[in-house]
Amino acid sequence: MWRKMLRLGLLALATLTPPAFLLAQNHARGIKFERISLEQGLSQSSARRILQDHQGFMWIGTQDGLNRYDGYNFTIYKHDVQDSNSISDNWITSIHESRQALPSPQGMGRDGTLWIGTRGGLNKFNREKEQFTRFVNNPKNPHSLSNNRVARIYEDRSGTLWIATPGGLNKFDREKEQCIRFVHDPNDPHSLSHNMISSIYEDSASRNTLWIGTGDSGLDKFDRDNEQFTHFAHNPKNPNSLSHNYVFAIHEDHTGMLWIGTIDGLNKFDRQKEQFTRFRHDVGGHDYSPLKLN
Protein backbone atom coordinates (compact mmCIF):
# COMPACT_ATOMS: atom_id res chain seq x y z
CA MET A 1 0.00 0.00 0.00
CA TRP A 2 2.79 2.44 0.88
CA ARG A 3 4.35 1.90 -2.54
CA LYS A 4 1.05 2.73 -4.21
CA MET A 5 0.68 5.95 -2.19
CA LEU A 6 4.25 6.97 -2.97
CA ARG A 7 3.60 6.36 -6.62
CA LEU A 8 0.48 8.53 -6.45
CA GLY A 9 2.26 11.29 -4.60
CA LEU A 10 5.12 11.46 -7.09
CA LEU A 11 2.76 11.49 -10.05
CA ALA A 12 2.06 15.21 -9.62
CA LEU A 13 5.75 16.05 -9.75
CA ALA A 14 6.48 13.71 -12.63
CA THR A 15 3.58 15.04 -14.66
CA LEU A 16 4.32 18.73 -14.20
CA THR A 17 8.13 18.75 -14.24
CA PRO A 18 10.06 19.22 -17.51
CA PRO A 19 11.78 16.00 -18.68
CA ALA A 20 15.25 17.62 -18.85
CA PHE A 21 15.02 18.61 -15.22
CA LEU A 22 13.83 15.14 -14.28
CA LEU A 23 16.74 13.49 -16.05
CA ALA A 24 19.27 15.71 -14.26
CA GLN A 25 17.68 15.02 -10.89
CA ASN A 26 17.46 11.30 -11.60
CA HIS A 27 21.23 11.01 -12.21
CA ALA A 28 22.09 13.28 -9.31
CA ARG A 29 19.90 11.61 -6.70
CA GLY A 30 19.29 8.14 -8.06
CA ILE A 31 15.51 8.66 -8.09
CA LYS A 32 13.40 6.97 -10.71
CA PHE A 33 10.23 8.52 -12.03
CA GLU A 34 7.50 6.61 -13.77
CA ARG A 35 5.95 8.60 -16.58
CA ILE A 36 2.18 8.40 -16.77
CA SER A 37 1.00 9.40 -20.25
CA LEU A 38 -1.44 8.57 -23.02
CA GLU A 39 0.02 5.08 -23.32
CA GLN A 40 -1.04 4.33 -19.75
CA GLY A 41 -4.56 5.66 -20.30
CA LEU A 42 -4.40 9.37 -19.53
CA SER A 43 -7.09 11.07 -21.62
CA GLN A 44 -4.89 13.96 -22.77
CA SER A 45 -1.30 15.05 -22.25
CA SER A 46 -1.97 18.55 -20.85
CA ALA A 47 -2.38 17.80 -17.15
CA ARG A 48 -3.48 21.22 -15.86
CA ARG A 49 -4.81 20.32 -12.42
CA ILE A 50 -3.93 17.51 -10.00
CA LEU A 51 -5.55 16.69 -6.65
CA GLN A 52 -5.18 13.71 -4.32
CA ASP A 53 -8.40 13.15 -2.40
CA HIS A 54 -8.86 11.78 1.13
CA GLN A 55 -9.26 8.25 -0.26
CA GLY A 56 -5.90 8.37 -2.02
CA PHE A 57 -7.17 8.72 -5.58
CA MET A 58 -5.39 11.11 -7.90
CA TRP A 59 -7.68 13.37 -9.92
CA ILE A 60 -6.08 14.83 -13.03
CA GLY A 61 -7.75 17.57 -15.02
CA THR A 62 -6.82 17.84 -18.68
CA GLN A 63 -8.09 19.72 -21.72
CA ASP A 64 -9.96 16.57 -22.74
CA GLY A 65 -11.57 15.10 -19.67
CA LEU A 66 -11.28 14.40 -15.96
CA ASN A 67 -9.10 11.41 -14.98
CA ARG A 68 -9.24 9.35 -11.77
CA TYR A 69 -6.09 7.30 -11.17
CA ASP A 70 -5.87 4.58 -8.51
CA GLY A 71 -2.17 3.87 -9.00
CA TYR A 72 -2.81 1.25 -11.65
CA ASN A 73 -5.72 2.26 -13.89
CA PHE A 74 -7.53 5.36 -15.13
CA THR A 75 -11.25 6.10 -15.07
CA ILE A 76 -12.07 8.92 -17.47
CA TYR A 77 -15.05 11.23 -17.23
CA LYS A 78 -16.07 13.20 -20.30
CA HIS A 79 -18.95 15.36 -21.43
CA ASP A 80 -21.74 13.46 -23.17
CA VAL A 81 -24.38 15.54 -24.96
CA GLN A 82 -26.84 12.68 -24.48
CA ASP A 83 -26.27 12.43 -20.71
CA SER A 84 -27.30 15.32 -18.45
CA ASN A 85 -25.44 13.68 -15.57
CA SER A 86 -22.09 13.77 -17.34
CA ILE A 87 -19.51 16.47 -16.68
CA SER A 88 -20.45 19.81 -18.24
CA ASP A 89 -17.28 20.24 -20.31
CA ASN A 90 -14.07 18.35 -21.09
CA TRP A 91 -11.67 21.26 -20.44
CA ILE A 92 -10.93 21.04 -16.70
CA THR A 93 -9.87 24.28 -15.02
CA SER A 94 -10.10 23.51 -11.29
CA ILE A 95 -10.50 20.57 -8.89
CA HIS A 96 -11.44 20.95 -5.21
CA GLU A 97 -12.47 18.55 -2.43
CA SER A 98 -14.66 20.37 0.06
CA ARG A 99 -14.62 20.24 3.84
CA GLN A 100 -17.64 19.83 6.09
CA ALA A 101 -19.66 23.03 6.24
CA LEU A 102 -19.82 22.88 10.05
CA PRO A 103 -17.33 21.44 12.58
CA SER A 104 -18.00 17.81 13.47
CA PRO A 105 -17.13 16.12 16.81
CA GLN A 106 -13.98 14.87 15.07
CA GLY A 107 -13.09 18.33 13.85
CA MET A 108 -13.24 20.00 10.44
CA GLY A 109 -12.63 17.16 8.02
CA ARG A 110 -13.32 16.43 4.39
CA ASP A 111 -16.88 15.61 3.35
CA GLY A 112 -15.56 13.90 0.25
CA THR A 113 -17.41 16.08 -2.24
CA LEU A 114 -15.47 16.86 -5.38
CA TRP A 115 -16.12 20.14 -7.16
CA ILE A 116 -14.87 20.38 -10.72
CA GLY A 117 -14.50 23.66 -12.56
CA THR A 118 -14.60 23.59 -16.35
CA ARG A 119 -14.92 25.97 -19.27
CA GLY A 120 -18.56 24.96 -19.29
CA GLY A 121 -19.57 25.46 -15.67
CA LEU A 122 -19.19 24.09 -12.15
CA ASN A 123 -19.77 20.40 -11.37
CA LYS A 124 -20.54 18.51 -8.16
CA PHE A 125 -19.50 14.85 -8.34
CA ASN A 126 -21.54 12.08 -6.73
CA ARG A 127 -19.04 9.31 -5.96
CA GLU A 128 -21.59 6.54 -5.41
CA LYS A 129 -23.54 7.11 -8.62
CA GLU A 130 -20.53 8.49 -10.52
CA GLN A 131 -22.71 11.31 -11.76
CA PHE A 132 -22.24 15.06 -12.01
CA THR A 133 -24.63 17.83 -11.03
CA ARG A 134 -24.02 20.86 -13.23
CA PHE A 135 -24.21 24.49 -12.21
CA VAL A 136 -24.15 26.79 -15.21
CA ASN A 137 -25.05 30.32 -16.13
CA ASN A 138 -28.72 30.95 -16.80
CA PRO A 139 -29.48 34.48 -18.04
CA LYS A 140 -32.96 34.22 -16.54
CA ASN A 141 -31.71 33.19 -13.09
CA PRO A 142 -29.75 35.81 -11.08
CA HIS A 143 -28.72 33.08 -8.63
CA SER A 144 -27.00 30.98 -11.26
CA LEU A 145 -23.28 31.06 -11.95
CA SER A 146 -22.22 34.44 -13.37
CA ASN A 147 -20.10 32.87 -16.12
CA ASN A 148 -19.53 29.29 -17.26
CA ARG A 149 -15.75 29.52 -17.39
CA VAL A 150 -14.60 28.64 -13.87
CA ALA A 151 -11.12 29.95 -13.13
CA ARG A 152 -10.81 29.02 -9.46
CA ILE A 153 -12.71 27.25 -6.66
CA TYR A 154 -11.83 28.50 -3.17
CA GLU A 155 -13.25 27.33 0.17
CA ASP A 156 -13.14 29.63 3.20
CA ARG A 157 -12.97 28.58 6.85
CA SER A 158 -16.76 28.46 7.18
CA GLY A 159 -17.08 26.01 4.29
CA THR A 160 -18.43 28.56 1.82
CA LEU A 161 -17.30 28.06 -1.75
CA TRP A 162 -16.15 31.06 -3.80
CA ILE A 163 -16.13 30.62 -7.55
CA ALA A 164 -13.92 32.88 -9.66
CA THR A 165 -14.98 33.47 -13.26
CA PRO A 166 -14.39 36.06 -16.03
CA GLY A 167 -17.90 37.28 -15.21
CA GLY A 168 -17.33 38.12 -11.57
CA LEU A 169 -17.09 36.50 -8.14
CA ASN A 170 -19.68 33.96 -6.99
CA LYS A 171 -20.52 33.00 -3.41
CA PHE A 172 -21.92 29.49 -3.67
CA ASP A 173 -24.39 28.27 -1.04
CA ARG A 174 -23.82 24.52 -0.81
CA GLU A 175 -27.17 23.86 0.88
CA LYS A 176 -29.37 25.92 -1.44
CA GLU A 177 -27.06 25.21 -4.38
CA GLN A 178 -27.28 28.75 -5.69
CA CYS A 179 -24.96 31.71 -6.15
CA ILE A 180 -24.75 35.26 -4.91
CA ARG A 181 -22.94 37.27 -7.56
CA PHE A 182 -20.50 40.12 -7.08
CA VAL A 183 -19.74 42.01 -10.27
CA HIS A 184 -18.22 45.30 -11.34
CA ASP A 185 -20.60 48.25 -11.38
CA PRO A 186 -19.09 51.43 -12.91
CA ASN A 187 -21.57 53.49 -10.87
CA ASP A 188 -20.56 51.92 -7.56
CA PRO A 189 -17.00 52.65 -6.32
CA HIS A 190 -17.36 49.90 -3.69
CA SER A 191 -18.19 47.16 -6.18
CA LEU A 192 -15.72 44.61 -7.55
CA SER A 193 -13.03 46.48 -9.51
CA HIS A 194 -13.03 44.05 -12.46
CA ASN A 195 -15.04 40.95 -13.40
CA MET A 196 -12.00 38.90 -14.42
CA ILE A 197 -11.03 37.10 -11.19
CA SER A 198 -7.65 35.36 -11.08
CA SER A 199 -7.08 34.56 -7.39
CA ILE A 200 -8.85 34.43 -4.01
CA TYR A 201 -7.41 34.33 -0.49
CA GLU A 202 -9.02 34.50 2.97
CA ASP A 203 -7.19 36.72 5.45
CA SER A 204 -6.11 34.78 8.55
CA ALA A 205 -6.26 37.88 10.77
CA SER A 206 -9.79 38.85 9.79
CA ARG A 207 -12.64 36.39 9.41
CA ASN A 208 -14.63 38.81 7.28
CA THR A 209 -11.91 39.69 4.73
CA LEU A 210 -11.25 38.10 1.37
CA TRP A 211 -8.48 39.28 -0.94
CA ILE A 212 -9.42 39.15 -4.60
CA GLY A 213 -6.88 39.31 -7.40
CA THR A 214 -8.17 40.59 -10.72
CA GLY A 215 -6.88 40.30 -14.26
CA ASP A 216 -6.86 43.98 -15.05
CA SER A 217 -7.63 46.20 -12.04
CA GLY A 218 -5.30 45.08 -9.26
CA LEU A 219 -6.08 43.76 -5.79
CA ASP A 220 -9.44 44.04 -4.02
CA LYS A 221 -10.13 43.77 -0.30
CA PHE A 222 -13.62 42.36 0.17
CA ASP A 223 -15.44 43.06 3.44
CA ARG A 224 -18.01 40.29 3.67
CA ASP A 225 -19.97 42.01 6.46
CA ASN A 226 -20.92 45.06 4.41
CA GLU A 227 -20.26 43.42 1.03
CA GLN A 228 -17.98 46.22 -0.13
CA PHE A 229 -14.71 46.16 -2.03
CA THR A 230 -11.66 48.36 -1.44
CA HIS A 231 -9.35 48.68 -4.45
CA PHE A 232 -5.56 48.67 -4.60
CA ALA A 233 -4.28 49.39 -8.10
CA HIS A 234 -1.03 50.24 -9.83
CA ASN A 235 -0.24 53.96 -9.90
CA PRO A 236 2.78 54.96 -12.05
CA LYS A 237 3.30 58.04 -9.85
CA ASN A 238 3.28 56.10 -6.57
CA PRO A 239 6.24 53.71 -5.92
CA ASN A 240 4.32 52.26 -2.96
CA SER A 241 1.42 51.12 -5.11
CA LEU A 242 0.96 47.67 -6.61
CA SER A 243 3.57 46.88 -9.29
CA HIS A 244 0.97 45.75 -11.87
CA ASN A 245 -2.80 45.39 -12.11
CA TYR A 246 -2.69 41.76 -13.24
CA VAL A 247 -2.66 39.81 -9.95
CA PHE A 248 -2.27 36.05 -10.38
CA ALA A 249 -1.24 34.90 -6.87
CA ILE A 250 -1.90 35.85 -3.24
CA HIS A 251 -0.06 34.20 -0.36
CA GLU A 252 0.26 34.80 3.38
CA ASP A 253 3.47 33.68 5.09
CA HIS A 254 3.91 32.38 8.67
CA THR A 255 4.39 35.92 9.99
CA GLY A 256 1.06 37.05 8.55
CA MET A 257 2.62 39.07 5.75
CA LEU A 258 0.70 39.17 2.47
CA TRP A 259 2.62 38.61 -0.76
CA ILE A 260 1.04 39.56 -4.06
CA GLY A 261 2.29 38.07 -7.32
CA THR A 262 1.73 40.05 -10.52
CA ILE A 263 2.97 39.74 -14.09
CA ASP A 264 5.44 42.54 -13.31
CA GLY A 265 6.98 41.64 -9.97
CA LEU A 266 6.35 40.44 -6.44
CA ASN A 267 4.77 42.74 -3.83
CA LYS A 268 4.92 42.69 -0.04
CA PHE A 269 1.77 44.33 1.30
CA ASP A 270 1.64 46.27 4.57
CA ARG A 271 -2.01 46.05 5.66
CA GLN A 272 -1.74 48.83 8.25
CA LYS A 273 -0.10 51.41 5.98
CA GLU A 274 -1.83 49.98 2.89
CA GLN A 275 1.43 50.20 1.01
CA PHE A 276 3.33 47.82 -1.23
CA THR A 277 7.05 47.06 -1.35
CA ARG A 278 8.01 45.90 -4.82
CA PHE A 279 10.51 43.24 -5.79
CA ARG A 280 11.37 43.03 -9.47
CA HIS A 281 13.91 41.32 -11.66
CA ASP A 282 17.20 43.17 -12.10
CA VAL A 283 18.67 42.29 -15.50
CA GLY A 284 22.12 43.58 -14.51
CA GLY A 285 22.05 42.13 -11.02
CA HIS A 286 23.82 39.12 -9.54
CA ASP A 287 22.68 35.57 -10.19
CA TYR A 288 22.02 34.96 -6.51
CA SER A 289 19.63 37.93 -6.30
CA PRO A 290 17.17 37.83 -9.20
CA LEU A 291 14.74 40.14 -7.37
CA LYS A 292 15.59 43.71 -6.55
CA LEU A 293 13.77 46.17 -4.34
CA ASN A 294 12.26 48.83 -6.55
Q: For 147-184, write each residue's pLDDT tens digit.
A: 999 999 999 998 899 999 999 999 999 989 999 999 99
Q: What is the pLDDT of residue 87?
A: 98
Q: Which residue has the higher pLDDT, 112 or 67?
A: 67
Mean pLDDT of 240-265: 95
Distance (Å, rounded) from C-alpha 241 to C-alpha 86?
46
Q: What is the pLDDT of residue 288?
A: 39
Q: What is the pLDDT of residue 31?
A: 74
Q: Which fold has domain 184-294?
A: Methylamine Dehydrogenase; Chain H (2.130.10)
- Percent of the chain scoring above 90 in pLDDT: 68
Q: Quick check: 263 pLDDT over 80?
A: yes
pLDDT in tens, 58-107: 999 999 999 999 988 889 999 999 999 999 999 999 999 998 544 444 44
Q: What is the pLDDT of residue 282?
A: 78
Q: What is the pLDDT of residue 287?
A: 43
Q: What is the pLDDT of residue 3?
A: 47
- Asked if residue 202 lies in contact with residue 156, where contact means CB atoms within 8 angstroms, the answer is yes
Q: What is the pLDDT of residue 105?
A: 47
pTM of the model: 0.82
Sheet holding 121-126: strands in order across? 92-99, 110-118, 121-126, 131-135
For the chain, give every domain's residue range: 184-294
Q: Quick check: 255 pLDDT over 80?
A: yes
Q: Quick check: 203 pLDDT over 80?
A: yes
Q: What is the pLDDT of residue 213?
A: 97
Q: Quick check: 18 pLDDT over 60?
A: no
Q: What is the mean pLDDT of the chain?
A: 85
- Residue 120 — very low, low, confident or very high, per pLDDT cuts 50/70/90? very high
Mean pLDDT of 217-239: 97
Distance (Å, rounded) from C-alpha 196 to C-alpha 94?
16
CA 69 to chain centre: 21
Mean pLDDT of 53-62: 93
